[in-house]
Structure 1
């Protein structure tokens, strides 16, 4: 009678590393440390930040179109004109000194006054118009107003001057229909030029302030209503303080746009209203004095200085409004 051999139990240590039981036991007792895979690098990041190469054409265009003329203006403003009688090309402060005296000073102050007044009026008129567009329940009305504003904001120059001369000039249709001349109206004056500038500044203000009005949250109005605040109180204590940076930024933007405008005023009022842009054209063409070419560059440098101040005020206001309305 034979007896069957007694089977010997196997332990994890006795099994081979490649065996199923031993492998599973080992896997349960020891858990290897695993690391999460890192984020995959983008192709442009592996190139060492080569994405800036896409901006090279824009930088070259800016350098050629704006940088070189700016350098030429700065150099010419501090040197004597090449068509002067003697001492051409010499360093001088006479151009800058003359650009802030006499008639040139009057032209600069008139341009600043016209720009500030039209920008203020356009801000006051554009805000309620933009608010009416934002709160309108008709989507087609919003799109129509914003599209028309985009067109009118860029409508200027000779076509705009002709349109106003044909309608509000001395022999214009509306002037004759309403007998505006008998009431002292004149398109070719400071007041008339102000009305013309508002034609493209008000639509520009609508485009500028509409995103800020969209950023006003409904919860803020509801919270004011829950605290029994009237509509006037809501605007005075909630909406306007929040919109103030955007409003000031829009005002500065409109000021710069009106300050740089030239073709409309030159075609409509000529020398009737003194403007610095018109003074630059007269100095370049020699209509007043011969040999004043670099004086025109000094006047242009003054305008660049004003534009730099405008941008220095506009950019911080824009960042602050974006922080509130984001």
Structure 2
């Protein structure tokens, strides 16, 4: 039984890796303009299960669809075996529902992008959903892993200000929403074509590009806001590190990926949007989204227990250690 449940965790890890590869192939698809490599046909490719004629765009789009189908099947099997059957808790079932809904929406938006001419804001939303499905699968895998390792909730009476955890939860939510906004806005910039006109770093130096300067300036201001929020989050998590060490580590990862994201953006500008720089940039964005989601989820688990355990002693509360 233990060996079987270990294999379930590995299945979740494979599903997470599969979704990351799916997102990576989707970025390559977007960058190379291969989204119509199979024509306006879905799920078939040029009206066939296996296309008779091949070119670079067809290969990229066809491989993208094959990997997507494999990753989705892995996710469905993982959620069926691991989540709903063996780990029937509210948190796990919520993550299962979120994972399945997100991956179905991702596949649906991908089909819409092929069958219809989608505006940039729809394509940007597709990227946001792709990051959501990837992050939800990672969160579910971590949740199952913790249960398997018997790291059950243990109530500890630790002197900590009740407002402190509530404040951290609010900051983690604000940080996550800012990450989502930054990624969505960056995806919109990519699909609208303005990214190729960006010059100068760390300050924009575009001239004569109309809206290009202001779009670039807003993009960098959002990134700066995210960096400031990350620093405040790490500072607050440091105060809670003895109670919830994972909050501190997760906050550090979020800050680290934000910094890497900013420098990879500089690399994109200096390399004039090369494929390598684009792939590095969106890969860091994937892990940034996942780490921010992890911190928010763990902060909620503490905040939920704090609200649930009543009455609360003055400036004291019970904290759950996962």
- TM-score of the alignment, normalized to the shorter chain, above 0.5: no
Q: Which has the higher contact order (CA 8 A, sep 6+)?
A: 1
- The TM-score range, normalised by the shorter chain, is 0.3 to 0.5
TM-score of the superposed pair, with normalisation by structure 1: 0.33
Q: Could you say which structure has the larger radius of gyration?
A: 1
TM-score between the two structures when normalised by the length of structure 2: 0.33
